[in-house]
Structure 1
Amino acid sequence: MNASPKDGRSSSSAHSSTRESARSRSGDALRAAQMYYLQDLTMNAIARELQTSRSTVSRLLSLARDTGLVEIQVNNPAHRAPSLENEIRRRFGVEAHVVPVSGTLDDSEALDRVAIQAARTIGPLVDSNAIIGVAWGSTLSAVSQHLTRKSTHDSTIVQLNGAGNTQTTGIAYASEILRRFGYAYGARVEQFPVPAFFDHAETKTAMWAERSVLRILELQRRMTMAIFGVGSTNSGIPSHVYSGGYLDEADLRMLHEKSVVGDVATMFFRADGSHRDLQINQRSTGPNLDLLRQVPRRICVVSGETKISGLRGALAAGLPTDLILDEASAHLLVQGSSD
């Protein structure tokens, strides 16, 4: 009977010790980063000063980068932005971030490179009191795995579109992406537990009148930022909406007949950006594209040359304000566009 209080003190002491250890390690990482990046000390010199090994200093510097204590930026010495980024800005009116990717990499490796850059670009843009809409898909799944921690207050991550289909609820896939975003920014996560597409537009109309759904829709209307990829039927890494059983043969045939080139958050569009007359959008649970255009900051992440037609459609529709893409895709985008 007398063991319980002792066990409680022991458990409390262990938790306290763990927190102290984490704070101490974070403090060491900060000191190592300041000496390495601000004072130009070598890792050997830092190791001597901290009375530790060179390998420990290397791990502390990695910790500083991974936890956001250090953010590394490479500036072009001739311009604030490379000419390719400037050209995209001039032609499409979006803030462009072009990721150098070797042509020897496969589609998966190229996506990972773009995802790393996207995660590092998005972090500094996230502020407290933000409402951030996040779409699910192959690209955003990759981005979510590279996010670094940043403390914010009263921020919310809201799911942009439902994820269920006839084969799965989609909850596990979409919620894991949202969870990573919420964890990275210390934000509350609001899921949207509806299917990606309703069988009938009338069902969507009825559901959109329900108070539980209206609460999510209201958050979406107040978004300060939206983050999404571009879906495409023929990309090197198939877009999840096309490969995950969300569309049947009749849907795919209709998309082809209507000259659809891609989608953002399961809302479809043509090469010229038109979308209002596409009936499938009446069944989709993605955000109305007219509403999406009202979000102050809209970050689009694209990897793979096969997504260019979809990207051009998204740009024609005026969906992104910021674009993060690989270098080969950027060249194709500029070469295939006219003033």
Structure 2
Amino acid sequence: MKPEKPGTRINGDRLSLLTKVARLYHEQGIRQPEIAERLTISQSRVSRLLKEAVARGIVRTVVVPPVGVYPELEDALQARYQLRDVVVADSGGQDEMSLLNAIGGAGAAYLETTLHADDRVGISSWSASLLAVVDAMAPRPTRSARSVVQVIGGVGHASVQVKATRLTERLASVTGAEPVFLPAPGLVANKVVRDSLFTDLPIASVVSAWQDLTVLLVGIGSLRPSPLLKESGNTLSEEEMAGLRELGAVGDVCLRFFDADGVLVESPLNDRVLGLSVDELRRVPRRVAVAGGERKVETIRAALRGQWVDVLITDNWTAKALLES
């Protein structure tokens, strides 16, 4: 006998049979051949009855997220900002170290899961969040990226520029990729100097590698730098910061500053950046940002509005704040 259509009424005996088969299989873990033998029906009929039980709503699949996992926040952020993907990490607190540990671990897990052997990964200058990600990654037994390319020179003290190189080197090491370094500062005196450096053979070869990037890994900078960044010298001067604020800037990705709506700010700094251009940045198929914390909520929101990135790794506190406005 063929099962009736789910929308039709059926008698109590059939409902009883559907329920019995469903409970035996789903609650008691009895296999279909054993159910068929116990009820003296064919195994194919057991299979049909189980499917009908699902269709009629007798059996319902429910996913129960464990504590510390936030699928609803991830889905809401993805829908609101039209993102490719969102990962929300569980942070035990809102202090800087708790946030960095949370998003660092989440970023590491995301990259370890999603990178492929042929990926060409661009990485921006040194930042606390990117450092946390790379430090949390474990070396892979097989290659998980083809190359790791530095997309902007170091900013600030010479020692910090060395850290940017080490960040590239570390990510290349754990993924088994070839590191491609940008042997230059991220910000130079003027456009003439920048254009001249772009023609230098070692730098020109790096610029050429930017055209083939498949993944971009960035932090999201705020005009309110963290104490760690301030102490390290990995920031612009106070005069430069003040000028950007006057123009309406709230943050940056790869030293490309944008306003609260995510629109690029036309600043003299744009001609001084030795790094990925805005057009080159937007052409990268997958652009992953790792950022969180109360200090950066406005900046992250602006970056998402402007579609500077399409994957966000953040923490549960920041995710909630991004959805409140």
Please indicate the TM-score interval, normalised by the length of the shorter structure. 0.7 to 0.9
TM-fit CA distance, 1:286: 2.9
Secondary structure of the corresponding residue to residue 291 of structure 1: helix
Secondary structure of the corresponding residue to residue 263 of structure 1: strand
Whether 1:77 aligns to 2:67 is no
TM-fit CA distance, 1:99: 0.9
Which of 145, 155, 163 does residue 146 from structure 2 map onto? Answer: 155
Secondary structure of the corresponding residue to residue 198 of structure 1: coil
Match of 2:88 in 1: 98
Secondary structure of the corresponding residue to residue 184 of structure 1: helix
Whether 1:309 aligns to 2:298 is yes
Whether 1:203 aligns to 2:193 is yes
- Change in Cα spacing, 1:219 to 1:238, as seen in structure 2 (3 Å) is farther
- Change in Cα spacing, 1:304 to 1:202, as seen in structure 2 (3 Å) is same
- Change in Cα spacing, 1:78 to 1:101, as seen in structure 2 (3 Å) is closer
- What amino acid is aligned across from residue 224 of structure 1 in structure 2? T
1:268-287 equivalences in 2 (<5 Å): 268-275=257-264, 277-287=266-276
Secondary structure of the corresponding residue to residue 136 of structure 2: coil
- Change in Cα spacing, 1:153 to 1:110, as seen in structure 2 (3 Å) is closer
CA distance in 1, matches of 2:217, 2:155: 20
- Change in Cα spacing, 1:206 to 1:200, as seen in structure 2 (3 Å) is same
TM-fit CA distance, 1:190: 0.8
Match of 2:284 in 1: 295
CA distance in 1, matches of 2:191, 2:159: 19
CA distance in 1, matches of 2:82, 2:228: 26
- Change in Cα spacing, 1:191 to 1:241, as seen in structure 2 (3 Å) is farther
Which of 178, 194, 211 does residue 221 from structure 1 map onto? Answer: 211
| Ranges in structure 1 where 5+ consecutive residues have no aligned partner | 1-74
Whether 1:190 aligns to 2:180 is yes
Match of 2:317 in 1: 328
**Larger-Rg structure:** 2
TM-fit CA distance, 1:186: 0.6
Give TM-score, length-normalised by structure 1: 0.71
Secondary structure of the corresponding residue to residue 275 of structure 2: coil
1:223-238 equivalences in 2 (<5 Å): 223-234=213-224, 237-238=226-227
Runs of 4+ in 1 over 3 A off after TM superposition: 78-81, 237-243
CA contact under 8 A between 1:229 and 1:264: conserved in structure 2? yes
Deviation per CA, 1:243-292: give whole Å up to 9, x if none: 51642232111011111111112221111122162221211123112221
CA distance in 2, matches of 1:260, 1:242: 22
CA contact under 8 A between 2:103 and 2:129: conserved in structure 1? no
CA distance in 1, matches of 2:231, 2:120: 28
CA distance in 1, matches of 2:232, 2:260: 22
- What amino acid is aligned across from residue 215 of structure 1 in structure 2? S
Secondary structure of the corresponding residue to residue 272 of structure 1: coil
TM-fit CA distance, 1:333: 0.4
Match of 1:177 in 2: 167
Q: Percent identity?
A: 25
Which of 94, 101, 107 does residue 112 from structure 1 map onto? Answer: 101
Give TM-score, length-normalised by structure 2: 0.74
TM-fit CA distance, 1:295: 0.6
CA distance in 2, matches of 1:267, 1:169: 22
Whether 1:247 aligns to 2:236 is yes
Match of 1:87 in 2: 76
Q: How many residues align?
A: 259
Which of 253, 257, 266 does residue 264 from structure 1 map onto? Answer: 253
- What amino acid is aligned across from residue 329 of structure 1 in structure 2? T
CA contact under 8 A between 2:121 and 2:145: conserved in structure 1? no
